[in-house]
Amino acid sequence: MSGERPGLEALYRSELRSVYAFLWRLGAQESEMDDLAHDVFVTAARRLSSFDPARPARPWLLGIAFRVFSDARRKRRPTETPSEAMEDPVPGPEASVERRQAQQVIRRALATLPEERRVAFVLHELEGLTPSEVSNLMQAPLMTTYSRLKTARDEVASAVRRFQLIEQSRNGSR
């Protein structure tokens, strides 16, 4: 898509999996994934004329996905919580039991983070965006983004260790 504005269909085909994976990592529930992805691409269609084709499409689209997800969270009833048993929405070969357990631990660890740190972590660590790109997408100062990333890394590592200890104690008591 170098220098040429992508068509919505091409954008949808090339980025749908990324949008689903990003929403899943943010903690979207399985029951809302299709609606959220739909809203992302409807918004992208409305804003396509403002997209700068000299820039990569994925960060632009993930920025839209972040805002759609955030809006949905604000509208969600406070008693609802993300499903821990959700399957990875990205199709692929059958995952091993160990990989599935690791994904569940990471998802649970991410769910413990406040939204701003979770989004920064997912965008940078899992989606590969630079801190500067994350700052732009989240409309936050660069130093705030660095702070969010450092704190999120520490919190995720701590949560993973905690969940692993819990799992070990469960397995040891059988």
- Predicted local distance difference test score (pLDDT) of residue 79: 44
Among residues 30, 58, 80, which one ends one of the domains? 80
- Tell me, yes or no, whether 89 and 168 share the same domain: yes
The model's pLDDT over 34-50, given as tens digits with 9 standing for 90+, comes to 999 999 999 999 998 88
- Tell me, yes or no, whether 116 and 146 share the same domain: yes
- Tell me, yes or no, whether 53 and 4 share the same domain: yes
Q: Out of 51-55, 60-64, 101-105, pick the least confident.
A: 101-105
- Tell me, yes or no, whether 74 and 159 share the same domain: no
Let me know if 143 is exposed, middle or buried by CB neighbors in 10 A (0-12, 13-18, 19+): exposed
- Tell me, yes or no, whether 150 and 96 share the same domain: yes
- Tell me, yes or no, whether 126 and 107 share the same domain: yes
Q: Burial code of 108-142, b = ≥16 C-beta within 10 A, e = fewer?
A: bbbeebeebbbbbbbbbbebebebebbbbbbebee
- Tell me, yes or no, whether 108 and 65 share the same domain: no
What is the C-alpha separation between 95 and 136, in angstroms, rounded? 34
At residue 29, does pLDDT exceed 90?
A: no
- Tell me, yes or no, whether 67 and 123 share the same domain: no
For residue 122, give the amino acid letter: V
Mean pLDDT for 115-134 is 91
**Domain CATH number, residue 19:** 1.10.1740.10
Task: Give me the domain span that covers residue 47.
Answer: 1-80
The model's pLDDT over 5-19, given as tens digits with 9 standing for 90+, comes to 568 888 899 999 999
**Domain CATH number, residue 165:** 1.10.10.10
Q: Which H, E and C letters describe the chain, residue by residue?
A: CCCCCCCHHHHHHHHHHHHHHHHHHHCCCHHHHHHHHHHHHHHHHHHHHHCCCCCCHHHHHHHHHHHHHHHHHHHCCCCCCCCCCCCCCCCCCCCCHHHHHHHHHHHHHHHCCCHHHHHHHHHHHHCCCCHHHHHHHHCCCHHHHHHHHHHHHHHHHHHHHHHHHHHHHHHHCC
pTM of the model: 0.63
What is the C-alpha separation between 18 and 61, in angstroms, rounded? 9
Among residues 31, 55, 80, which one ends one of the domains? 80
Mean pLDDT for 115-139 is 91
Q: Per the structure block, which two tokens stand in for 7?
A: 């068509």
158 Cβ partners below 8 Å, 6+ apart?
Answer: none
- Tell me, yes or no, whether 162 and 95 share the same domain: yes
- Tell me, yes or no, whether 41 and 30 share the same domain: yes
The model's pLDDT over 140-161, given as tens digits with 9 standing for 90+, comes to 999 999 999 999 999 999 988 8
Q: Tokens 């700052």 appear where?
A: 135
- The count of structural domains within the chain is 2
- Tell me, yes or no, whether 110 and 137 share the same domain: yes
- Tell me, yes or no, whether 162 and 99 share the same domain: yes
Mean pLDDT for 90-98 is 54
For residue 76, give the amino acid letter: R
- Predicted local distance difference test score (pLDDT) of residue 140: 92
Among residues 58, 80, 102, which one ends one of the domains? 80
